[in-house]
């Protein structure tokens, strides 16, 4: 009951009072000011390293230049030979003198995921001493405007890798315009 803006317990008989006190024995009384103070919920920590990583990935994806040097780009099929390596290497690679010892299929991956997969694949090939690999980037038949999403990026990324000596578009039986044969440095 409320009188004068305060709650007052009704007058109880002694046996009812004991029963009531027993029933509310585990209840915590309100503070003198009548407000419940809930414990402060801690604010979850900000994953600053995750934000930084995401920012770097976005920056790299937006500013990943795709430039072709006239010295290294040869022909319309998108062949590449590192400076100082004979163009004879390209002819031998096109003819199939080297057979792919490993293969990486990047179909369906995003640009960021494909770049990561390519880096890991090349590292593993280098570690195992693999000389020639086939990298499938796809022809873009299921992408918007039916354009290859990864083709130019994969070619550019390969030119940035020290272990890549040369690459040529794969022969038709090996994937044609949707794949590359890549020659890597020997150990």
**CA pair distance 109, 153, nearest whole angstrom:** 12
Number of domains in the chain: 1
3-state secondary structure of 154: helix
Categorize the per-residue pLDDT at 65 as very low, low, confident or very high, splitting at 50, 70 and 90. Answer: low
In a domain, 8, yes or no: no
The residue assigned the tokens 């022969």 is 171
- 97-102 own/partner pairs: CB under 8 Å, 24+ apart: 98/131, 98/132, 98/181, 98/183, 99/132, 100/132, 100/133, 100/134, 100/174, 100/181, 101/125, 101/130, 101/131, 101/132, 101/133, 102/128, 102/130, 102/133, 102/134
Lowest model confidence (mean pLDDT) among 21-25, 90-94, 103-107, 138-142: 138-142
Question: Would you say residue 169 lies in a domain?
Answer: yes
Q: Which domain CATH number covers 92?
A: 3.30.1370.110
Question: In the prediction, which pLDDT does 165 show?
Answer: 94
Domain assignment present for residue 62? The answer is no
Q: Is there a contact between 170 and 179 (Cβ–Cβ < 8 Å)?
A: yes
Q: Which domain holds residue 126?
A: 71-184
Q: What is the pTM of this model?
A: 0.59
> 63 falls in which pLDDT band (50, 70, 90)?
low
Domain membership of residue 2 (yes or no) is: no
Q: Up-side HSE of residue 84: CA atoms within 13 Å toward CB?
A: 4
Report d(CA 136, CA 119) in Å as an integer.
Answer: 14
Q: Is residue 7 part of a domain?
A: no
**Is 47 part of a structural domain of the chain?**
no
Does 133 have pLDDT greater than 90? yes
Instruction: Indicate whether 91 belongs to any domain.
Output: yes
Encoding tokens for residue 42? 């801690």
pLDDT, tens digit (0-9, with 9 covering 90-100), for 15-28:
888 888 888 888 87
């Amino acid at each position: 009951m409320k009188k004068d803006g305060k709650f007052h317990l009704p007058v109880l008989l002694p046996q009812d009072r004991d029963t009531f006190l027993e029933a509310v024995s585990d209840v915590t009384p309100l503070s003198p000011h009548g407000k419940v103070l809930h414990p402060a919920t801690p604010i979850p920590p900000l994953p600053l390293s995750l934000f930084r990583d995401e920012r770097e990935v976005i920056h790299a994806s937006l500013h990943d230049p795709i430039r072709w040097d006239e010295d290294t780009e040869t022909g319309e099929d998108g062949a590449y030979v590192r400076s100082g390596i004979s163009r004879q290497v390209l002819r031998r690679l096109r003819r199939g003198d080297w057979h792919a010892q490993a293969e990486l299929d990047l179909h369906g991956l995003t640009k960021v995921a494909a770049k990561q997969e390519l880096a890991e694949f090349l590292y593993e090939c280098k570690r195992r001493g693999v000389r020639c690999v086939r990298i499938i980037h796809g022809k873009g038949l299921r992408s918007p405007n039916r354009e290859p999403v990864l083709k130019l990026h994969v070619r550019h990324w390969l030119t940035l890798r020290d272990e890549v000596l040369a690459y040529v578009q794969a022969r038709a039986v090996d994937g044609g315009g949707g794949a590359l044969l890549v020659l890597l440095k020997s150990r």
